[in-house]
């Protein structure tokens, strides 16, 4: 039933790329069997879940939103997917996204854009636009997305749902197709904070298959929900209120008022290196992408140009035909900043700036328990509106990129609508591994 509903709704939004009937029925009947044996079926028993199409699923097509992987059937499951199914979750399909998670509007998908279920002429945000849209339209109860520079939080804010980017290392990246490995995170989308907390609880924790996954114990996130926030010190970084449009600003200020009313102490803070974040991010992420995307060479995976006659031609033509414009732009930029002679001036410099940005947060967290900021300077924009101007598009991530660069937990929680009914999201950021503190504050908005 859930699948039929999802299929029907998909004609409006294009949020799913693939449905997984067979697999869904298998997991659902495994849950039934457990129940009939009197065993506990798991925290997510029977819950319909969508998975962003950059996360691999065994036997189920995984395209990364790219022509390059049009027919790619992965031979294994991502750890996060495995853990969801072990808890009884039912994967109903793969969610549309920007090609290799590069984008802010889902318009870079080779399979067409996703429409925002809240306003069909608008983008759902990106790159996890499909994952946000399916939760907003109610065809999946929860979903998985990935975030490298804002790709969970920004679409969550555009679609009016909760989106969580956990601490780097909290969730295994095994089976997440690499875009920029030092920045990539897997995280949940949900309709409320509790569901997001349950989903994160299920997928978090050390995984020997990902050397960067952390040993830190995973606390019970639900215990922190609805706890009193009185006396919490909440910082407002002044740099995060420039560029903000007035309608979003109104909602954000109402959100801050709400925290005040509940007894939070609001403190002005400064993160002085914020201005360099966009430049720093686009050097590091393109550098890493140029290396990670080198593997799509026509030899492995699925695509190979039919026209090529020599080996060199095969590489060149396969990549020329398989990658879209944004991927090509980033591969070229990344190769350039890593090339000898430019490495020191760009890549190395960006790494230093990254440390300064992380230090800004450390400094701020000596004064406050959490930071709150807008997620994006503006709400969901119209399809096509920013397509011709990559710089404008890059600016929509201006408030979210820093969290990934620092590797701290951050999330978007709905915080009102504009007069036109477009959702606005509040971002909450806390210290490394303090997802509990983040959820505690987030639940104050519900």
Binding residues for ligand GLN, per CB under 6 A? 101-104, 127, 147-151, 179, 285, 397
Catalytic residue among 66, 104, 109, 127: 127
Nearer to ligand GLN, 117 or 150 (CB): 150
Cβ 115 to ligand GLN shortest distance, Å: 18
**Minimum distance from residue 127 beta carbon to ligand GLN (Å):** 4
Nearer to ligand GLN, 226 or 390 (CB): 390
CB of 326 to ligand GLN, least distance (A): 8
Q: Which is nearer to ligand GLN, 6 or 64 (CB)?
A: 64
List the catalytic residue out of 105, 131, 146, 151: 151
**What are the structure tokens assigned to 1, written together?**
């039933």
340 an active-site residue?
no
Contact 39, 170 (CB under 8 A): no
34 catalytic? Reply is no
Q: Select 177 or 244, whichever has its Cβ closest to ligand GLN.
A: 177
Q: Which is nearer to ligand GLN, 89 or 149 (CB)?
A: 149
- Active site (annotated) includes residue 109: no
- Report residue 134 as tokens: 């399916």
Angle between helices 193-203 and 435-442 (to 10 degrees): 160
Residue nearest to ligand GLN (CB): 151
In the numeric block, the tokens 């009313």 are attached to: 261
- Decide: helix, strand or coil at residue 171: strand
Cα–Cα distance measured from residue 140 to residue 120, given in angstroms and rounded to the nearest whole number: 18
Smallest distance, ligand GLN to C-beta of residue 101, A? 4
Shortest distance (Å) from residue 147 CB to ligand GLN = 5
Q: How far apart are CA 158 and CA 248, in angstroms?
A: 11
Contacts of 363 (CB under 8 A, 6+ apart): none
Catalytic residue among 20, 52, 248, 376: 52
The DSSP string of 378-435 is: SSPPBTTTTTT-HHHHHHTTTTTHHHHHHT--EEEEEEEE-TT--EEEEEEE-STT-H
Residues involved in catalysis = 52, 127, 151
């Amino acid at each position: 039933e859930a699948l039929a509903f999802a299929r029907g709704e998909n004609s409006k939004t294009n949020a799913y790329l693939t449905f997984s009937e067979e697999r869904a029925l298998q997991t659902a009947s495994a849950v039934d069997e457990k129940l009939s044996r009197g065993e506990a079926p798991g925290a997510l028993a029977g819950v319909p879940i969508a998975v962003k199409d950059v996360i691999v699923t065994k036997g189920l097509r995984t395209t990364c939103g790219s022509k390059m992987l049009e027919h790619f059937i992965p031979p294994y499951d991502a750890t996060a997917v495995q853990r969801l199914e072990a808890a009884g979750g039912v994967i109903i399909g793969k969610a549309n996204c920007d090609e290799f998670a590069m984008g802010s509007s889902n318009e870079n998908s080779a399979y067409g854009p996703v429409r925002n279920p809240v306003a069909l002429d608008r983008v759902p945000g990106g790159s996890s636009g499909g994952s946000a849209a399916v939760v907003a339209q109610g065809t999946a109860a929860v979903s998985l997305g990935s975030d490298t520079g804002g790709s969970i939080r920004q679409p969550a804010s555009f679609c009016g749902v909760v989106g969580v980017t956990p601490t780097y290392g909290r969730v295994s990246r095994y089976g997440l197709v690499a875009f920029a490995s030092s920045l990539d995170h897997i995280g949940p989308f949900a309709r409320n904070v509790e569901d997001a907390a349950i989903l994160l609880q299920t997928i978090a924790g050390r995984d020997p298959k990902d050397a960067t996954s952390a040993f830190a114990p995973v606390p019970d996130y639900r215990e922190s929900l609805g706890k009193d926030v009185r006396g919490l010190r909440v910082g407002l970084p002044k740099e995060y209120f420039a560029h903000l449009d007035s309608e979003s600003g109104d909602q954000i200020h109402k959100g801050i008022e709400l925290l005040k009313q509940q007894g939070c102490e609001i403190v002005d803070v400064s993160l002085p290196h914020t201005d360099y974040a966009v430049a720093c991010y686009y050097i590091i992420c393109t550098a890493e992408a140029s290396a990670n995307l080198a593997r799509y060479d026509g030899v492995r995976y699925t695509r190979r140009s039919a026209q090529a006659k020599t080996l060199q031609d095969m590489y060149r033509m396969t990549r020329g035909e398989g990658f879209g414009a944004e991927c090509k732009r980033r591969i070229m930029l990344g190769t350039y900043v890593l090339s000898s002679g430019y490495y020191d001036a760009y890549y190395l410099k960006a790494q230093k700036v990254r440390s300064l940005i992380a230090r800004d947060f450390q400094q701020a967290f000596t004064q406050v328990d959490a930071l709150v900021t807008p997620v994006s300077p503006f709400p969901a924009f119209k399809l096509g509106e920013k397509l011709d101007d990559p710089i404008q598009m890059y600016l929509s991530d201006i408030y979210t990129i820093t969290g990934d660069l620092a590797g701290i937990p951050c999330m978007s929680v709905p915080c009102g609508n504009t007069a036109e009914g477009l959702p606005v999201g509040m971002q909450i950021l806390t210290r490394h591994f303090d997802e509990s503190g983040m959820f505690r504050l987030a639940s104050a908005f519900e």
